[in-house]
Structure 1
Amino acid sequence: MSTEKPRGVLLDVDGTLVDTTYLHTVSWWEALRQANQPVPMALIHRSVGMGSDKLLDHLLGPERDRSADGRLRDAHDCLYAEYWERLTPLPRATDLLRTLAARGLRVVLATSAAEHEVGALRRALAADDVIDEVTSSADADRSKPAPDILVAALEQSGLESSRVVFVGDSVWDVAAAGKLDIPCVGLTCGGTSRGELAGAGAVAVYDDPAALLDALEDSPIAKLT
């Protein structure tokens, strides 16, 4: 029996595998507008990837009255849910997952999406047969850029931080991975630039899942196999 420790790839989902970053941006923009707390979309987009608690702190200030936070989250969730049946994978995202699995790597969706959103994301990807584990926001006490969701992904999949690569699309993803010394591959398809991702510490940056798949043999992921 082989005693070699398993290897795997942790992947963010929103903005990395499924094209949702701007849907979240619009949903937060409308939720805030309805609450008479308008925030420019550009600022909201820059915050997507954080948990909702940190996002609202970032947009509205940490000293604000938090009594309305629950209503803001509920409004965002209701608005975002209108898109669930139309969620679309980013280019060749499903092919990437299947290729990683075919290489003997554990495929772990390290998402901090709410539990009620995870099902819609999984349906969009249509790759449950090759996905080993999936996290949700319920698995983390603290949201990104804290590394809690990655810790949960490692624990649930039986992987070690020294034997994984994380794929994400935001500077918050890169920051979370860095706290665990996990190499992070950045994708610009969530709307964050190559320079920003690299500047945050991403070990390599690609346009989208298709570009990563095309360059897989020369990517940091190839070092796992």
Structure 2
Amino acid sequence: MRSGVLFDVDGTLVDTTYLHTVSWWEALRQYDADVPMAEIHRAIGMGSDKLLDHLLGEKRDRSHDDELSTAHDVLYGAWWERLRPLPGASELLRAVAKRGLAVVLASSAKETELSKLREVIGADDVISAATSSSDAEQSKPAPDILQAALDQSDVDPRRAVFVGDSVWDVKAASRLDIPCIGLTCGGSSAAELSEAGTTANYDNPAALLAALDDSAIGALEP
């Protein structure tokens, strides 16, 4: 087994958190659920299976869940051609690979969406493995996606670090005892991420890259 770094994608490597927020906001309004954007933003990072329960309650009518999820996907899809990588995203992945570490995308995006995200990042030549929503029964904060990423890449969880932007990322990593580095570029504060259990926090991929030698990634041996 090898050492490696697992990366969340939405909000960590690609600037999508607020686009998901407004897409869910509009989708929910289409079904007469008026949820403040601040509440939706705090739930981004969960999959739709958990996000809707979190926002609307577990005792709600679930008969429109599939339509809600589809509405979100259609609204979010309108932004695809304008998606942008976060500062230093590609460079960070390449620097990690240069150290001899596996670069693994631990995403719960659907496969077609993940293909677009990978195109935006522009570092496919150094990515060892990547997960999508079809690889996990449950979304974060369940650890299923991270476990799938470990299995697909043959990375030893004792020799792994996870990089994410939401408290749900941190909680998922903690269930597998994987240290998690937090990035605040997804909109969660350093205080929120630290309280959830991050080892350290940085503004964005470029800031982590600049401090790579002193980070938990710098302590990994190939």
TM-score, normalised with respect to structure 2: 0.98
What does 1:24-173 correspond to in 2, within 5 Å? 24-173=20-169
User: Letter of the aligned partner of 1:162 in structure 2?
Assistant: R
What does 1:185-224 correspond to in 2, within 5 Å? 185-224=181-220
CA distance in 2, matches of 1:68, 1:105: 43
User: Letter of the aligned partner of 2:202 in structure 1?
Assistant: Y
Where structure 1 has 5 or more consecutive residues not aligned to the other structure, the ranges are: none
Which structure's residues are more often helix, by fraction? 1
3-state DSSP class of the match of 1:53? Answer: helix
CA distance in 1, matches of 2:42, 2:134: 23
* Number of equivalenced pairs: 221
CA distance in 1, matches of 2:181, 2:196: 11
User: Letter of the aligned partner of 1:36 in structure 2?
Assistant: D
In structure 1, the residue matched to 2:5 is 9
Deviation at 1:218, TM superposition (A): 0.4
User: Letter of the aligned partner of 1:189 in structure 2?
Assistant: C
Deviation at 1:72, TM superposition (A): 0.2
CA distance in 2, matches of 1:65, 1:115: 28
CA distance in 1, matches of 2:56, 2:111: 25
Q: List per-residue Cα deviations over 1:29-67 (Å, max 9, x = no partner).
A: 000011111110000000000011110001000000101
User: Letter of the aligned partner of 2:180 in structure 1?
Assistant: C
Deviation at 1:160, TM superposition (A): 1.3
3-state DSSP class of the match of 1:123? Answer: helix
User: Letter of the aligned partner of 2:31 in structure 1?
Assistant: A
TM-score, normalised with respect to structure 1: 0.97
Q: Percent identity?
A: 67
Q: List per-residue Cα deviations over 1:147-206 (Å, max 9, x = no partner).
A: 000000000000111010000000000000000000000000000000010010001111
3-state DSSP class of the match of 2:109? Answer: coil
CA distance in 2, matches of 1:199, 1:73: 30
Deviation at 1:6, TM superposition (A): 1.4
User: Letter of the aligned partner of 1:67 in structure 2?
Assistant: S
